[in-house]
């Protein structure tokens, strides 16, 4: 397959398009959009977000060392885009959309009621990279909407219609999975031997 070479850039995707809630030192909340996000560790559970220093929520996170990652759905695409284009210094985005907040459990930062999943995070380190600073945070608690839990309490996250961002465009993730983790190496159940009529035959073919 022939390829064209481009200079190094952030040509990568798809990525989550999440709404991150923060509060300032006085407890005033704000919400902004983040796509430069990823899981960094399983034990303990940790993630990273990259934030520009000029963002209002950058100051909020530095002041409290806490934030909440609110997963978004296709129905939230307008809110998600707006919160990435408008600064909280000029627009109270929470009031603008009449967003309902849910108090934090393990952190002081509230989450968005309309979000199907909220990850409460506490910062453990900050690294200066260039245009963005990288926050590494431990996920200290998760809030999951009851509608995503089956009878056994298993989380069906794929059924929430999550939103993704890819090279300037938003996409809704398909609700029909292409496979499950480990399916490519899973052992197939052995087939039962076929029963033949007549006398049993040995390995020689005729007993």
Q: What is the mean pLDDT of residues 101-114?
A: 98
- Contact between residue 109 and residue 29 where contact means Cβ atoms under 8 Å apart: yes
- Confidence class of residue 194 from pLDDT cuts 50, 70 and 90? low
Does residue 44 lie within any of the structural domains? yes
Q: What is the mean pLDDT of residues 29-39?
A: 97
Residue 188 lies in a domain: no
Predicted pLDDT at 198: 54
CATH number at residue 110: 2.30.110.10
Secondary structure (H, E, C), the chain: CCCCCCCCCCCCCCEECEEEEEECCCCCEEEEEECCEEEEECCCCEEEEEEECCCHHHHHHHHHCEEEEECCEHHHHHHHHHHHHCCCCCCCHHHHCCCCEECCCCCCCCEECCCCEEEEEEEEEEEECCCEEEEEEEEEEEEECHHHECCCCCECHHHHCEEEEECCEEEECCCCCCCCCCCCCCCCCCCCCCCCCCCCCCCCCCC
Evaluate whether residue 155 is within a structural domain.
yes
Beta bridge partners of 38: 48
Q: Which two tokens stand for residue 160?
A: 């929430």
Contact between 149 and 124 under an 8 Å Cβ cutoff? The reply is no
Q: What is the pLDDT of residue 74?
A: 95
Residue 183 lies in a domain: no
Does residue 200 belong to any structural domain of this protein? no
pLDDT of residue 207: 40
Q: What's the rounded mean pLDDT across residues 101-115?
A: 98
The pLDDT value recorded for residue 197 is 57
Does residue 98 register a pLDDT over 60? yes
> How many Å separate Cα 207 from the centre of its chain?
62
Convert the pLDDT of each residue in 42-75 to its tens digit: 999 999 999 999 999 999 999 999 999 999 999 9
Total structural domains in the chain? Answer: 1
Of 115, 179, 120, residue with least CA distance to 148? 115
Q: Give the model's pLDDT for residue 205.
A: 47
Is the per-residue pLDDT at 78 higher than 80?
yes
The pLDDT, as a whole number, for residue 196 is: 55
Identify whether 82 is part of a domain. Answer: yes
Task: Give me the domain span that covers residue 114.
Answer: 15-172
Comparison of pLDDT for 164 and 191, the residue scoring more: 164
- Residue 110 covered by a domain: yes
pLDDT at 204 over 60: no
Tens-place pLDDT, residues 149-179: 998 999 988 888 999 999 999 999 877 778 8
The burial of 24, by beta-carbon neighbours within 10 Å (0-12 exposed, 13-18 middle, 19 or more buried), is given as middle
Question: Do the domain assignments include residue 182?
Answer: no
């Amino acid at each position: 397959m022939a390829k064209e070479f481009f200079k190094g850039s952030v040509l990568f995707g798809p990525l989550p398009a999440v709404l991150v809630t923060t509060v300032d030192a006085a407890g005033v909340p704000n919400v902004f959009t983040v796509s430069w996000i990823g899981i960094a560790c399983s034990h303990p559970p940790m993630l990273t977000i990259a934030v520009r220093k000029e963002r209002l929520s950058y100051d909020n996170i530095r002041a409290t060392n806490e934030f909440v990652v609110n997963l978004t759905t296709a129905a939230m695409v307008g809110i998600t885009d707006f919160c990435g284009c408008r600064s909280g210094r000029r627009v109270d985005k929470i009031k603008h959309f009449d967003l309902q907040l849910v108090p934090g459990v393990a952190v002081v930062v509230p989450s968005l009621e309309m979000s199907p999943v909220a990850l409460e995070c506490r910062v453990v380190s900050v690294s200066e990279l260039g245009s963005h600073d990288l926050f590494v945070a431990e996920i200290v608690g998760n809030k999951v909407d009851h509608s995503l839990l089956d009878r056994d309490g298993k989380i069906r996250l794929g059924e929430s219609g999550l939103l993704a961002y890819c090279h300037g465009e938003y996409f809704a993730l398909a609700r029909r999975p292409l496979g499950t983790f480990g399916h490519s190496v899973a052992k197939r159940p052995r087939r039962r031997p076929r029963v033949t009529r007549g006398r049993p035959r040995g390995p020689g073919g005729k007993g």
